[in-house]
Structure 1
Amino acid sequence: MCCTVPQIVFLLQLAGVATAVKFSVLVGNATVLRGGSVTLPCWLSPTTDAEGMEVRWYLKEYQTPVLLYHNGKLQNATQMEQYQNRTTLVPREPSSSLKQGDVSIRIEDVKLTDVGKFTCYVSSSEHYDSDHVFLKVEEIGASPILSLSKFNDGRINVSCMSTGWQPGPLLQWSLGPQQVLKPGGLRQSRGTGGLVTVQSWVVRPSSESGWISCSVFLPNRKEHLKEARVDVNIELLGVSSWMVAFIILVTLLLAAICALLLYLKKKKGFPMGTAEESNVALIREDVPHGAAEELNALLREEVDFIWCEAPELVYSEDMKSLAVDISVNKDAAPACMAVGKNGKMMRDKHDCDPTDYDLCVLVNPGFTSGQHYWEVGLKRDGTPVKNSWWVGVATDSAVQSMREQKSMPTSGLWCLYSDNKHGVHTKSGSSHYISMASRPEVLGIFLDYDNGRLSFYDTKLKRHLVTIKSNFRETVYPLFNPSKGDKAVLDILSLPVATPLPVAAPEVNSTAATATET
Structure 2
Amino acid sequence: MMSIIIIALLVNLLMDTSESFSVVVPRDQIVAHVGSTVTLPCWISPPENAEALEIRWYRHDQFSNPVLFYQHGKIQDLQEESFRNRSSLTVRSDQSGGLKDGDVSLRLEKLRIQDEGSFYCYVSGESAYDSSKVVLKVTDPPESSDSPDPSDPWKALFFTLLICALLGLAGLILYKYRQKLIGKKQADQNPKDGLMEKLIKKAVGEETIEELRKHAVQITIDRERSHPDLRVTKDCKIMREAPGYKHTGEGFPYELCALGTQRFTSGRHYWEVSFTQKDTPPKHYWLIGVAKHDRSDLTPSSGSWFLCSDGDNGFYINSDTPVKLPPTLTPRPEQLGVLLDYDLGLLSFYNVKERKHLLTMSTRFTGPVVPLFNPGVGDPSPLVILDCPEPVESAVESSVESSVPLTAQTPDGPIQK
SS of the aligned residue for 1:359 comes to coil
Contact 1:184 1:282 in 2 (8 A): no
Q: Post-superposition shift, 1:357?
A: 3.0
Structure 2 Cα separation of the partners of residues 312 and 337 of structure 1: 32
Structure 1 Cα separation of the partners of residues 28 and 263 of structure 2: 42
Q: Gaps spanning 5+ residues in structure 1: where?
A: 1-174, 188-199, 213-234, 257-277, 284-295, 403-407, 506-518
Please say if 1:471 is aligned against 2:306: no
Taking a change above 3 Å as real, the CA distance of residues 210 and 392 of structure 1, as seen in their structure-2 partners, is closer
Taking a change above 3 Å as real, the CA distance of residues 401 and 312 of structure 1, as seen in their structure-2 partners, is closer
Match of 1:457 in 2: 350
Q: Gaps spanning 5+ residues in structure 2: where?
A: 1-17, 31-39, 57-69, 85-112, 118-132, 139-174, 184-199, 394-399, 405-417
Match of 1:492 in 2: 385
The amino acid across from 2:24 in the alignment is L
Taking a change above 3 Å as real, the CA distance of residues 335 and 211 of structure 1, as seen in their structure-2 partners, is same
Taking a change above 3 Å as real, the CA distance of residues 389 and 186 of structure 1, as seen in their structure-2 partners, is farther
2:268 aligned to which of 353, 368, 371:
371
2:278 aligned to which of 381, 389, 399:
381
Match of 1:181 in 2: 24
Q: Post-superposition shift, 1:179?
A: 4.4
The amino acid across from 1:487 in the alignment is P
The amino acid across from 1:344 in the alignment is K
2:289 aligned to which of 392, 397, 416:
392
Q: Post-superposition shift, 1:346?
A: 0.7
Match of 2:333 in 1: 440
Match of 2:51 in 1: 207
Structure 2 Cα separation of the partners of residues 444 and 392 of structure 1: 10
Structure 2 Cα separation of the partners of residues 185 and 449 of structure 1: 44
The amino acid across from 1:281 in the alignment is L
Please say if 1:281 is aligned against 2:116: no
The amino acid across from 1:476 in the alignment is V
2:222 aligned to which of 329, 344, 349:
329
Taking a change above 3 Å as real, the CA distance of residues 179 and 471 of structure 1, as seen in their structure-2 partners, is closer
SS of the aligned residue for 2:212 comes to helix
Contact 2:25 2:41 in 1 (8 A): no
Match of 1:243 in 2: 78
Match of 1:361 in 2: 258
Q: Post-superposition shift, 1:238?
A: 11
The amino acid across from 1:415 in the alignment is F
Q: Post-superposition shift, 1:362?
A: 1.1
1:401 aligned to which of 292, 297, 303:
297
Structure 2 Cα separation of the partners of residues 502 and 427 of structure 1: 26
SS of the aligned residue for 1:440 comes to coil
Deviations 1:428-456 (A, max 9, x none): 33332221333111111001100110011
Deviations 1:407-432 (A, max 9, x none): x5643111000111311111133332
SS of the aligned residue for 1:319 comes to helix
Deviations 1:30-83 (A, max 9, x none): xxxxxxxxxxxxxxxxxxxxxxxxxxxxxxxxxxxxxxxxxxxxxxxxxxxxxx
Contact 1:319 1:373 in 2 (8 A): yes
Structure 1 Cα separation of the partners of residues 115 and 390 of structure 2: 33
Aligned-pair Cα RMSD in Å: 4.6
Taking a change above 3 Å as real, the CA distance of residues 444 and 236 of structure 1, as seen in their structure-2 partners, is farther
Structure 2 Cα separation of the partners of residues 183 and 201 of structure 1: 7
Please say if 1:425 is aligned against 2:324: no
Deviations 1:287-322 (A, max 9, x none): xxxxxxxxx999775579xxxx94542241211011
Larger radius of gyration: 1
Contact 2:308 2:316 in 1 (8 A): yes
SS of the aligned residue for 1:392 comes to strand
Contact 1:411 1:429 in 2 (8 A): no
Match of 1:482 in 2: 375
Q: Post-superposition shift, 1:201?
A: 11
Taking a change above 3 Å as real, the CA distance of residues 331 and 431 of structure 1, as seen in their structure-2 partners, is same
SS of the aligned residue for 1:456 comes to strand
Contact 1:334 1:359 in 2 (8 A): yes
Taking a change above 3 Å as real, the CA distance of residues 298 and 386 of structure 1, as seen in their structure-2 partners, is farther
Contact 1:239 1:430 in 2 (8 A): no
Taking a change above 3 Å as real, the CA distance of residues 237 and 327 of structure 1, as seen in their structure-2 partners, is farther
Q: Post-superposition shift, 1:379?
A: 1.6
1:344 aligned to which of 216, 223, 237:
237
Taking a change above 3 Å as real, the CA distance of residues 486 and 211 of structure 1, as seen in their structure-2 partners, is farther
Contact 1:238 1:430 in 2 (8 A): no
Q: Post-superposition shift, 1:339?
A: 0.9
Match of 2:158 in 1: none
Instruction: Name the TM-score, length of structure 2 as normaliser.
Output: 0.50
Contact 2:293 2:370 in 1 (8 A): yes
Structure 1 Cα separation of the partners of residues 236 and 216 of structure 2: 17
Structure 1 Cα separation of the partners of residues 74 and 331 of structure 2: 24
Residues matched between the structures, number: 252
Q: Post-superposition shift, 1:237?
A: 9.4
Taking a change above 3 Å as real, the CA distance of residues 239 and 345 of structure 1, as seen in their structure-2 partners, is farther
Q: Post-superposition shift, 1:385?
A: 0.9
Q: Post-superposition shift, 1:182?
A: 1.2
Instruction: Name the TM-score, length of structure 1 as normaliser.
Output: 0.41
The amino acid across from 1:369 in the alignment is S
Q: Post-superposition shift, 1:485?
A: 3.1
Taking a change above 3 Å as real, the CA distance of residues 176 and 357 of structure 1, as seen in their structure-2 partners, is closer
Structure 2 Cα separation of the partners of residues 491 and 201 of structure 1: 48
SS of the aligned residue for 2:388 comes to coil
SS of the aligned residue for 1:320 comes to helix
The 5-angstrom pairing of residues 81-92 of structure 1 reads none
Structure 2 Cα separation of the partners of residues 201 and 365 of structure 1: 51
Structure 2 Cα separation of the partners of residues 486 and 239 of structure 1: 36
Deviations 1:1-21 (A, max 9, x none): xxxxxxxxxxxxxxxxxxxxx
Structure 1 Cα separation of the partners of residues 180 and 273 of structure 2: 31
Match of 1:68 in 2: none
SS of the aligned residue for 1:358 comes to coil
Contact 2:222 2:259 in 1 (8 A): no
Q: Post-superposition shift, 1:498?
A: 2.6
